[in-house]
Structure 1
Amino acid sequence: MKLLQTLVWPVPLVMISLMLAGCNVRPGKVPHIVDADSAQAVTVKTRSGPVVGASAAPGTAFLGIPYAAPPVGDLRWKPPQPPASWSDPRDARKLGSACTQAISLNPGAGEGGGLPFGDEDCLFLNVYLPAAPPAAGNPWPVMAYLPGGAFVLGAGDNYDPSRLATEQNVVVVTINYRLGPLGFLAHPALTAESPSGGSGNFGLMDQQAALRWVRDNIASFGGDPARVTLFGESAGAWSTCYQLTSPGASRLFQRAILQSGSCVDPVSMAPVAEADADGVAYAAKVGCTDPAAALACLREVSARTLVRTASTRRGIVGPASWGPVWGDGVVPLRPDVAFEQGRYAQVPVIVGTNRDEGRLFAITTRNQETFETRIQQQFGPKAAQVLARYTEATQGSVRLAFAGVWTDARLACPSDALRQALRPRSEVYGYEFADDRAPISLPAMMQGGPMGAYHSGELTYVFGTRWALADPADFDAGQAALATAIRTAWGRFAHGQPPASPASDWPAFGEEGLVRILAPGPVRQSADFAQRHDCAFWSGVLGAG
């Protein structure tokens, strides 16, 4: 129990839940398609070679397709390279490996330790599409999904998007990308050899390589490379946000959906020079102290040792975490500056959050001492202001006070700031997922109280299938209707339409600051999102980072 009390980032809780419930941790292998009695082999030729997938009544799937060469040996911490070609048909009815990662019970997303799994040879993607082919001359739009996991955990196959694909007549592609230090380590020696003039964004480069694969190959699967929606949740939303500002992603996607994540979050924005300096300390922790030999030394350290070594830099969770950096050729400008100056892909965007994001992070915040310690870790000299504003008395409990801080400071207000920055030049839609009773598979004893619309709680609505934290079998009639409405909105958007019809059911985000409330019951909008989440206070406390 003492070990559990150190937990702060939610993803380890996912794995604990899986261990307790015995759930399948790789829903993306879609056995209801691949292993169906009626499944038929389907062959598609890609630029690298032919792949054999499976098709049955619930849909068609091609799994474990390499979109880049294994980033191992001399290719560790290098931009992704094209995969080797093949001539014999490749079996695409089984998943590729997840990227090397470690399940950790330590606080924060990158504080080391844990149980390592996965492999460096992990740059795979999965393609899901309806069972019937598209009408001649009318290819399906594409939705490319970037999974979350604090940039240290996760894989595309953690999710089953087959229902979304079939219901909405879209192709859904789920993508692996390098994680933790293998995806986001910055170091002066890496920067010196980098063609982009910096290091720390290898995971973002992987995502771009996957999008190039989509551009070059998806037509063979019935998809339209000119209608690609990039979407992701949590770290996947942060990634999507960074890709909006990256020259390397230009014209690789035409729409974007950000679920619970914004790269203008001041706590997580790290310049490459700062990350480089912190990378020297990280190298020393794994025994690479000689500057002249640091790079060769780092490439000899086992991947499992690397992912179990604590981060020495700030990232998505603040101190001791991982994430993209800015100031190199991949992300040249600080994100908020890029949006302010209009130097980003001005595509239609949906940006939203969940009303009770922080409750998943606050599960083990049960006393004032823990609360104060975590706020101090996150906000340093600003912690006193935060602790005076968010108290047990004003929020209802210590747990809810910590949850309120995380919801407002790290997700709600940065997402609102992003909407405000985008709206002068882009078509923007905002939402707040607000189902009070969103299903969750964590045992009640671990929850510590009502979870409400917790972080990631919308995912089972978006995909309509079971994943680690929730099962749509637990929906009541109102929740099932909401899930259908959400998938329809995502599908309409991918097809190039407003997310709702009539448009008044989900108006574009403008000066009034309207966001669509995604909850069972009548359609409604809210104009007081920023006020409810105390965004004026957080703007004063955190500024621009």
Structure 2
Amino acid sequence: MSRRRRTGRTGRSASAFVVMAAAAALLTPHTAQAAPGNGTLVRTDAGWLRGESTAEGRQFLGIPYAQQPVGGLRWKEPRPVKSWHGVRGATSFGNRCVQTASWDPGYENPSHTEDCLDLNVYVPEGKREPRPVMVWLHGGGLTAGAGEDIVPDAFARRTGTVVVTVNYRLGAMGFLAGKGLDKEASDHVSGNYGMLDQQAALRWVRANIGSFGGDRQRVTIAGESAGGRSVCTQLASPTAKGLYRAGIVQSGAYGDCAARERAEALTQGAAFAKKAGCPDRATALACLRKKPAAEILAAQTGFDWGPVAGGDFLPAQPEDAYRDGTASRVPVLNGANSDEGRLFAYGQFDGQGKPLTEAQYPGALTRTYGAELGAKALKRYPLSGHASPTHAYAATQGDQMFACSALRMDRSLAGRGPVYAYEFADRTSPPFASIRDAGKTFDFGATHVNEVQYLFKHFGLASPLNAEQRILARQMVQYWGSFIHGGAPRAEGQPAAPDQRTRPGQVLSLRTASAGGNELSTAVAREHRCDLWDREGATPADAG
């Protein structure tokens, strides 16, 4: 599939058939449906869409699911999208939400576009009965990324699933809290605009996915990194209940999925307003709403952007909601990668041209974890057990932030429904597209994000998997697909993912055949030294 850009976002069709079909639609009840005999022409509750056919199926790109949060709607809760007349073209991705430039392919320049609340739908050809649906929430630290970062058309075809990818507001645009904004919020707690966007997209799916052959009763929300964190947040949100039947959390349990407390978020919001040039609290909100997006973006660096607990959206911290039983009681597939920390350690040291040295290693641990915990980590992660000081430091980061957090989340979730545990452990995996060149000199192993390319085309690019890795990729697609279809994660001839209610602590390790193949392991907690990190607690981390 070609990687379409943002040209012709509201294209109109000139064909007589389309015009007649659209005119007829205005005279009939406005329920979602597909036009007979033309699978690329679909009617939603807001109007007609024309998508396109590809070698993998059908796709509909850049569909608005809410009113665009521009002008007076900046920092407002999402509102239902307005209807349009005629047929709207759906063959180009919508705008990316406001964000800085990054090292990811296609992100060489910042985005200052606020009209970005769009989603994309990928539909396999074949049988017409309603198919299960996966809604993908992208990663990027809640400050970057877009729904277009994965192209799941082959996944949709292989699993018989309708896949939806979603844009949502990011950074300050998505998570600014303030006393003035609290007054406008329906629950009097501001700072959750990006998360509420996700729920608006899920409501759009519930209303319209039948037009595309999807089953509104079988929706799985899924995401990696900040997308996985979004999923574990939505699991704990009472206002999301009923919008999905299952969740997939990939490397998203970092920081135990903790949200900001309201007081903390308000303090950060006031500091942000001052940095952005709006120090007077009485006029700060009006001042900020007049600021160009570029100035808001420039001021947001250095702040923690994420959901806020304390209101109707998130009454309690996710971890507490899991344990007290108030979280959604739906099946969950949850896991992490065996070498998560290598991406972050590379960015901190080797990627800056300053590889961590043996002499610097103890100090790096002390600065990160404090004197007492740093000393314990030094004993548990001796340099003799790692290829380099950077790799040793990376192991501490990955274990603390991701591996042990995922296992803790498994234990918490097991009290309220099925939870299936996995670990992606292909240490020969090629670095994902953004770090492919760096991977020629640095061993990333099974680092953060690396599993995504085994499931989808990452950034629309084919991954250079070898024959063994392609087999593992097919198996992973089967595991994910069987879960989305409503069963336990399974792959042909492979062990099923273990349910933590009956096999606590057992994890499905995903590996190539030469590394031993997929197996059920009880050693993951020990390998990641979770006795250290669970006892000391894990601090929230900024993940991608």
**What's the TM-score bracket when you normalise by the shorter of the two chains?**
0.7 to 0.9
State how far apart, in whole Å, the 1-side matches of 2:362 and 2:138 are: 31
Is residue 342 of structure 1 aligned with residue 325 of structure 2?
Answer: yes
Provide the TM-score with structure 2 as the length reference.
Answer: 0.84
In structure 1, list runs of 5 or more residues that go unmatched: 1-23, 30-39, 106-113, 313-319
Is residue 143 of structure 1 aligned with residue 134 of structure 2?
Answer: yes
Aligned-CA RMSD value: 2.5
Match of 2:534 among 527, 539, 542: 539
1:223-282: CA deviations, max 9, x gaps?
Answer: 00000000000000000000000011111000111111116527x542121111111111
State how far apart, in whole Å, the 2-side matches of 1:427 and 1:403 are: 31
State how far apart, in whole Å, the 1-side matches of 2:293 and 2:483 are: 39
1:122-175: CA deviations, max 9, x gaps?
Answer: 00000001133x33xx20100000000111110001111000111111100000
State how far apart, in whole Å, the 2-side matches of 1:121 and 1:239 are: 21
**Residue 333 (structure 1) shift:** 0.1
Is residue 467 of structure 1 aligned with residue 456 of structure 2?
Answer: no
Is residue 452 of structure 1 aligned with residue 445 of structure 2?
Answer: yes
Task: Give the aligned partner of residue 515 of structure 1.
Answer: 507
Shifted more, 383-392 versus 76-85: the winner is: 383-392
Is residue 329 of structure 1 aligned with residue 320 of structure 2?
Answer: no
1:71-113: CA deviations, max 9, x gaps?
Answer: 11221111101111112100001111010100258xxxxxxxx
Task: Give the aligned partner of residue 30 of structure 2.
Answer: none
Task: Give the aligned partner of residue 316 of structure 1.
Answer: none
Is residue 476 of structure 1 aligned with residue 466 of structure 2?
Answer: yes
**Residue 497 (structure 1) shift:** 1.5
Asked whether the 8 Å contact 1:311–1:322 carries over to 2, the reply is no
**Residue 405 (structure 1) shift:** 1.9
State how far apart, in whole Å, the 2-side matches of 1:210 and 1:94 are: 18
Asked whether the 8 Å contact 2:373–2:536 carries over to 1, the reply is no
Asked whether the 8 Å contact 1:129–1:171 carries over to 2, the reply is yes
Is residue 402 of structure 1 aligned with residue 397 of structure 2?
Answer: no
Task: Give the aligned partner of residue 249 of structure 2.
Answer: 258
- The 1:382/1:327 distance shift into structure 2, 3 A limit, reads farther
Task: Give the aligned partner of residue 59 of structure 1.
Answer: 57
State how far apart, in whole Å, the 2-side matches of 1:158 and 1:54 are: 19
Task: Give the aligned partner of residue 128 of structure 1.
Answer: 122
State how far apart, in whole Å, the 1-side matches of 2:438 and 2:454 are: 24
Task: Give the aligned partner of residue 274 of structure 1.
Answer: 264
Is residue 224 of structure 1 aligned with residue 215 of structure 2?
Answer: yes
Alignment of structure 1 residues 82-101 onto 2, 5 Å: 82-101=80-99
**Residue 381 (structure 1) shift:** 6.6
**Residue 382 (structure 1) shift:** 6.0
Q: Which amino acid aligns with 2:173?
A: L
Match of 1:367 among 346, 352, 356: 356
Task: Give the aligned partner of residue 158 of structure 2.
Answer: 167
State how far apart, in whole Å, the 1-side matches of 2:471 and 2:162 are: 23
- The 1:478/1:28 distance shift into structure 2, 3 A limit, reads farther
Q: Which amino acid aligns with 1:345?
A: S
State how far apart, in whole Å, the 2-side matches of 1:176 and 1:370 are: 41
Task: Give the aligned partner of residue 495 of structure 1.
Answer: 485
1:6-28: CA deviations, max 9, x gaps?
Answer: xxxxxxxxxxxxxxxxxx98799
- The 1:310/1:401 distance shift into structure 2, 3 A limit, reads farther
Task: Give the aligned partner of residue 281 of structure 2.
Answer: 291
Match of 2:520 among 512, 516, 525: 525
Asked whether the 8 Å contact 1:263–1:335 carries over to 2, the reply is no
Asked whether the 8 Å contact 2:65–2:80 carries over to 1, the reply is yes
State how far apart, in whole Å, the 2-side matches of 1:376 and 1:278 are: 26
Is residue 74 of structure 1 aligned with residue 68 of structure 2?
Answer: no
State how far apart, in whole Å, the 1-side matches of 2:291 and 2:85 are: 34
Asked whether the 8 Å contact 1:64–1:95 carries over to 2, the reply is yes
Q: Which amino acid aligns with 1:131?
A: E
Asked whether the 8 Å contact 2:322–2:415 carries over to 1, the reply is no
- The 1:230/1:291 distance shift into structure 2, 3 A limit, reads same
State how far apart, in whole Å, the 1-side matches of 2:4 and 2:405 are: 31
1:158-217: CA deviations, max 9, x gaps?
Answer: 111000111111100000000011011122221232112211211100000000000000
Q: Which amino acid aligns with 1:515?
A: V
Asked whether the 8 Å contact 1:363–1:447 carries over to 2, the reply is no
Asked whether the 8 Å contact 1:140–1:169 carries over to 2, the reply is yes
**Residue 308 (structure 1) shift:** 2.1
Asked whether the 8 Å contact 1:460–1:467 carries over to 2, the reply is no
State how far apart, in whole Å, the 1-side matches of 2:41 and 2:228 are: 32
**Residue 484 (structure 1) shift:** 0.6
In structure 2, list runs of 5 or more residues that go unmatched: 8-37, 350-354
Asked whether the 8 Å contact 1:67–1:83 carries over to 2, the reply is yes
- The 1:100/1:480 distance shift into structure 2, 3 A limit, reads same
Q: Which amino acid aligns with 2:356?
A: N
1:386-415: CA deviations, max 9, x gaps?
Answer: 653445345442211221122111111111
Aligned-partner SS, 1:217: helix
**Residue 376 (structure 1) shift:** 5.9
- The 1:321/1:85 distance shift into structure 2, 3 A limit, reads same
Match of 2:111 among 100, 106, 117: 117
Asked whether the 8 Å contact 1:191–1:198 carries over to 2, the reply is yes
State how far apart, in whole Å, the 2-side matches of 1:354 and 1:25 are: 28
Aligned-partner SS, 2:210: helix
State how far apart, in whole Å, the 1-side matches of 2:254 and 2:236 are: 10
Task: Give the aligned partner of residue 193 of structure 2.
Answer: 202
Aligned-partner SS, 1:102: coil
State how far apart, in whole Å, the 2-side matches of 1:94 and 1:520 are: 36
Asked whether the 8 Å contact 1:27–1:467 carries over to 2, the reply is no
Shifted more, 426-435 versus 190-199: the winner is: 190-199
State how far apart, in whole Å, the 1-side matches of 2:362 and 2:164 are: 42
State how far apart, in whole Å, the 2-side matches of 1:459 and 1:121 are: 27
Provide the TM-score with structure 1 as the length reference.
Answer: 0.84
Q: Which amino acid aligns with 1:77?
A: W
Asked whether the 8 Å contact 1:28–1:160 carries over to 2, the reply is no
Rg comparison, structure with higher value: 2
Q: Which amino acid aligns with 1:92?
A: A
Asked whether the 8 Å contact 1:116–1:307 carries over to 2, the reply is no
**Residue 311 (structure 1) shift:** 4.2
